[in-house]
Amino acid sequence: MGNRQKLTEKVLREAGPAAGRDYQIFDTEVRGFAVCVYRGGGRAFTLDYRHAGRQRRMTFARWPEWGVSAARERAKALRREIDAGGDPLATRDATRDAPRVRDLITRYSELHLPHLAKLNAADQRSMMEKFITPAWGSMLVTEVTPLDVERLLTKVAEGRARPAKAKPNNRARKLKPARPTPVRANRVGEVVRKMFAYAVKWGWRADNPAMGFRRRIETPRERYLSHDEIARLAQALDAAEDGRAADIIRLCMLTGARVGEVRQARFEDFNLEHLVWTKPAATTKQRRVHRVPISNEAAAIVRQRRAAVVSGAPWLFPGDVPGQPVQEVRRFWRRIQTEVDIPDVRIHDLRQTFASLLVSGGASLEMIGKLLGHSQMQTTQRYAHLMDSPLRAGVGAVASAFRPKPRLVHSSDTPDAPASPADPNPGEAPARTVGR
């Protein structure tokens, strides 16, 4: 350390570059603290030290972005770390190589998403691209805290403005005001929790910041078709020109299946002799084989489709792309909504209507769960309130038992009647019954 003097702003301004080489000016107050003057004229603060017998040099700040006083305080802090046995240069290099959240997203997408259903995987990718990456992409995996998770989910739950579906009169895009989206926030929270569970498993951090995240209250959407709406829907489907799409809607209503399960149904999945539909694991949401009975009406649709489809085609509803099932029925459903006057009814509401009709027919929640393919009983519990009729009959029986019995009283307005031979109390007025 040949060139030593107390570093000041004046010293750094007056220090000129040397031709063909870089040189250092060491500080007299902090051991190893120096300014490196580069041959190109730039200046940076460095710290020379030894660790485990090796000479190390760490460049930690540039001048004039950092002043001399701030750089000296930083050098003192690094010196304390070195004296405690640390190696700040190795720590910084390890931080630079540490995985960031964008790396976690990439690896999670490669290892976990391929095992999910296509729609589920696409939905999770959308959540990571729209919410998680913009907020945390450049952060280290170890830097994310439970507070960061709460702030992100709060922002998601507040919702965002969306383009109006109706075409505007001018070229400007009209936005609808933001609506709260608590359900979306909960789904994002589940994805974050799963991602960091993998990070813990891979040794990228010690804990999961999303474990036990605050779930927003979800109000399940409940829309059941009335008997009149079901009759109008059946008439509209009978009159529809697109028989293929109409049969998809009919099967959704008759089986309670999800529209994706119906679209991807194959002829080989149906046993019409025993009236059974075996849904492959690849088409079900729970990723398990789901075997359900079907009605004669549903079997009749399968037979009609066999007659209508080209021989050898595997799909019940082949699409316009060769070798693929039909992909989209939303346009058809929008026309049906208008004809039947049910603008607020989704195709998925047919599944809920199927469950409500089962309840009215006396089916138990366990039976409904098996028919709908629920993997958790709590999912089926949403239909429990539809079973109020038998419960109401039960509480009515209790009320009837508790209701006061009528008793006999004498009327003061009725004159005395002659006693009959069979009358044990001659001269008493006739009695009438009243409630207590």
Asked if pLDDT for residue 389 goes beyond 70, the answer is: no
Mean pLDDT computed over 124-152:
94
Q: In the structure, what pLDDT confidence band is assigned to residue 410 with cuts at 50, 70 and 90?
A: low
The pLDDT of residue 290? 86
Q: In the structure, what pLDDT confidence band is assigned to residue 33 with cuts at 50, 70 and 90?
A: very high
Least confident of 85-89, 186-190, 220-224, 350-354: 220-224
The pLDDT of residue 394? 54
Contact status, residue 25 vs residue 10, Cβ threshold 8 Å: no
Rounded to an integer, what distance in angstroms lies between the CA atom of residue 28 and that of residue 109?
53
Contact status, residue 28 vs residue 1, Cβ threshold 8 Å: no
Domains and CATH numbers, the chain: 9-97 (3.30.160.390), 101-166+174-201 (1.10.150), 227-388 (1.10.443.10)
Contacts of 68 (CB under 8 A, 6+ apart): 7, 8, 9, 12
Least confident of 83-97, 198-212, 380-394: 380-394
Least confident of 313-317, 320-324, 385-389, 427-431: 427-431
pTM above 0.85, yes or no: no
Asked if pLDDT for residue 395 goes beyond 90, the answer is: no
Contacts of 194 (CB under 8 A, 6+ apart): 108, 112
What are the start-end ranges of the E strands in 300-357? Answer: none
Number of Cβ atoms within 10 Å of the Cβ of 386: 18
The pLDDT of residue 422? 47
User: Could you give the count of Cα atoms lying within 13 Å of 176 in the half-sphere of its Cβ?
Assistant: 9
Contact status, residue 131 vs residue 152, Cβ threshold 8 Å: yes
Q: Order of strands, edge to edge, in the sheet holding 23-26?
A: 23-26, 33-37, 43-51, 54-63
Listed in sequence order, the DSSP H helices in 138-258 are 146-158, 182-201, 227-239, 243-255
Asked if pLDDT for residue 172 goes beyond 60, the answer is: no
The model's pLDDT over 68-107, given as tens digits with 9 standing for 90+, comes to 999 999 999 999 999 888 888 887 876 677 899 999 999 9
